[in-house]
Amino acid sequence: MKRIHYLDSLRGLTIISMIFYHLFYDLVYIFNVDIDFYKIEKVWIWQLSIAISFFLISGFSSYLTKKDKLLKRGIILSLIGFLFTLATYIFVRDELIIFGVLNGLGISMIFCGLFKDQLDRIDYKFSIFIFLILFIVFYNISFGYINLFFRKISLPDFLYEMNLFFIGFKGKDFYSSDYFPFLPWSFIYLTGFYLGKWLKEKDFYNICGKENIISKIGRQSLKIYILHQIVIFGALSLIFKILDK
């Protein structure tokens, strides 16, 4: 199948946004640079837009991917995610990552791969909105409640006492600087899956677009994700070392 350059371009734009987000994060929280706009509460919307884009785009692609290949990708992403946990535990424990975005994407891919035949039988017109609503309802599940009709409904404490952090029921002492559990993030992934089904029906995937610099960046999204913080941190360390002299 031909590469869909539009999807690659969306990945590329998301990767670029992520790089700038983490650049400012490192400047403010690691190198103690005073950047006012990054400290306002609404900056979480920027972070949220990046995460949602990753899960939606991955969901788009999963509809076009055979289930055995999807399972393989999910396992590989999960293993890389666990390596991130190990690396942050050893080298930067203050920024420890437990079940970060790669694990969240990985477990969503594995789930989708295991149940793809069953998921494919469901009408996308119904599913897109249902899973989007479920994402909103369960968005704060890791904080002990769900949002239902603009009301907070607390969930039983015993769910969190078991520290099932990979599902979304994290314990009181659980900490991760990057946390994307199965709930609610699998719901936005499945929203992307059914959007992908809708796009295929609309023959969107035969409109491939043109290759460009952003689409090329999108094609290397995993490599860039793995390396970008190392490059950013290393470059900033060198710059501030030179400035201190």
Residue in the structure block whose two tokens are 């491939």: 208
Cα–Cα distances in angstroms (integers) from residue 241 to residues 19, 161, 186, 229, 233, in the given order: 22, 45, 42, 18, 12
**pLDDT (0 to 100) of residue 1:** 55
Work out the percent of the chain whose per-residue pLDDT is above 90: 76
pTM for the model stands at 0.93
At 8-40, the pLDDT tens digits run: 999 999 999 999 999 999 999 889 899 888 877
In sequence order, what are the beta bridge partners of 153?
146
Categorize the per-residue pLDDT at 207 as very low, low, confident or very high, splitting at 50, 70 and 90: low
At 107-141, the pLDDT tens digits run: 999 999 999 999 999 998 889 999 999 999 999 99
Average pLDDT on 161-185 reads 96
pLDDT at 99 over 60: yes
Structure tokens at 36: 């006012």
**pLDDT (0 to 100) of residue 182:** 98
**pLDDT (0 to 100) of residue 228:** 95
Cα–Cα distances in angstroms (integers) from residue 147 to residues 21, 80, 139, 141, 150, in the given order: 27, 32, 8, 9, 6
CA distance 212 to 5: 8
pLDDT at 204 over 80: no
**pLDDT (0 to 100) of residue 64:** 85
Tell how strand 145-148 and strand 151-154 pair up: antiparallel
User: Rounded mean pLDDT of the chain?
Assistant: 92
Q: 131: Cβ–Cβ under 8 A, 6 or more apart, which residues?
A: 187, 188, 190, 191, 194
In the DSSP assignment, the letter for residue 122 is S
Categorize the per-residue pLDDT at 7 as very low, low, confident or very high, splitting at 50, 70 and 90: confident
* 32, amino acid identity: N
pLDDT at 245 over 80: no
pLDDT at 211 over 90: no
Residue in the structure block whose two tokens are 């029906």: 201
pLDDT at 175 over 60: yes
Phi-psi region of 107 (alpha: psi -120 to 50; beta: other; left: phi over 0): alpha
Domain ranges of the chain: 65-188
3-class SS string, 31-72: CCCCCHHHHCHHHHHHHHHHHHHHHHHHHHHHHCCCHHHHHH
